[in-house]
């Protein structure tokens, strides 16, 4: 079925996210006129398209100039527009760092190994499940349980993140959901996390030596990614 730009915009807003291999999403990614009309429709609603080459889905987020209307309740700036409390946002950041950062490094490494093929071939190969790995729930609890309110609190928050499409839980393993790779600005967040307090833990989990003075583990990842496309955030 062929959708008009208006119909596809409505479908995307109603669904919140759509897989990259959807027929109309593929058209969105290659048909400039169609994409411009969809983006204009979203902008009229105060929204913008979320898309980057290494994510398996596309989604929508607020335009920067409309964030105040959604997040500012007159007394404080809300932590999210989907009802997540601050500790759930903290857990989401941890999961993003543990799942998406190693995944992006594998994706970029695989793209280099594959060489210069056709325009979309390497990207399609690099968004499959083989490059995205989860984290065992018991490992998360052991490393971050005390910091995030304990086992009971984390077990309460994980279903929230799952219902929102941010994570998936499979046999006690937390995997990325459709939205996890889209919710943060990668180019901005990656250097802060990799060179910050969580950096050594992420490197240890991936068998990488601790940073030495003058090293910058995240520089190549961030720079390569920024050259691909400005990373979206919500």
Backbone angles phi, psi at 161, to 5 degrees: -65, -35
The pLDDT value given to residue 221: 40
Q: Flag whether the pTM goes above 0.85.
A: no
Residue-wise pLDDT tens for the chain (234 aa)?
Answer: 789 999 999 999 999 999 999 999 999 999 999 999 999 999 999 999 999 888 999 999 999 899 888 888 777 777 777 778 889 999 999 999 999 988 888 888 765 555 544 444 455 455 555 678 899 999 999 988 988 899 999 999 999 999 999 999 999 999 999 999 998 888 888 888 877 766 666 666 555 555 454 444 444 443 433 333 333 344
Q: Please give, one letter per residue, the 3-state secondary structure of 126-180.
A: CCCHHHCCCEEHHHHHHHHCCCCCHHHHHHHHHHHHHHCCCEEEECCEEEECCCC
The pLDDT value given to residue 112: 52
The domain ranges of the chain are: 5-71, 86-228
> How many of the other CB atoms lie within 10 Å of CB of 149?
16
Pair of tokens at residue 25: 């999403």
d(CA 109, CA 64): 32
d(CA 197, CA 192): 9
The pLDDT value given to residue 118: 47
d(CA 176, CA 171): 14
Contact 96, 182 (CB under 8 A): no
d(CA 179, CA 58): 8
Backbone angles phi, psi at 57, to 5 degrees: -135, 165
Instruction: Find, among 199, 103, 78, 198, the residue nearest to 148 by Cα.
Output: 198
The pLDDT value given to residue 164: 93
Contacts 24+ apart (CB under 8 A), 136-143: 136/172, 136/173, 136/174, 137/169, 137/172, 137/173, 137/174, 138/172, 140/94, 140/95, 140/98, 140/174, 143/201
What is the widest separation between alpha-carbon atoms in the chain?
56
């Amino acid at each position: 079925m062929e959708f008009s730009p208006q119909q596809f915009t409505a479908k995307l807003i109603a669904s919140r996210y759509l897989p990259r291999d959807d027929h109309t999403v593929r058209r969105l990614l290659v048909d400039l006129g169609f994409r411009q009309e969809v983006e204009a429709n979203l902008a009229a609603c105060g929204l913008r398209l979320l898309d980057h080459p290494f994510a398996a889905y596309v989604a929508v987020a607020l335009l920067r100039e409309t964030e105040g209307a959604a997040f500012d309740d007159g007394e404080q700036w809300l932590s999210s527009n989907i009802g997540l409390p601050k500790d759930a946002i903290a857990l989401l950041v941890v999961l993003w760092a543990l799942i998406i950062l190693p995944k992006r490094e594998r994706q970029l490494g695989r793209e280099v190994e594959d060489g210069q093929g056709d325009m979309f071939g390497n990207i399609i190969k690099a968004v499959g499940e083989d490059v995205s790995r989860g984290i065992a729930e018991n490992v998360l609890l052991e490393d971050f349980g005390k910091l995030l309110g304990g086992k009971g609190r984390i077990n309460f928050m994980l279903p929230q993140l799952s219902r929102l499409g941010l994570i998936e839980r499979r046999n006690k393993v937390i995997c990325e959901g459709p939205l996890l790779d889209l919710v943060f600005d990668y180019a901005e967040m990656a250097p802060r996390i990799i060179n910050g307090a969580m950096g050594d833990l992420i490197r240890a989990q991936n068998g990488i030596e601790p940073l030495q003075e003058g090293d910058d583990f995240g520089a190549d990842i961030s720079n390569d990614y920024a050259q691909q496309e400005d990373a979206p955030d919500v």
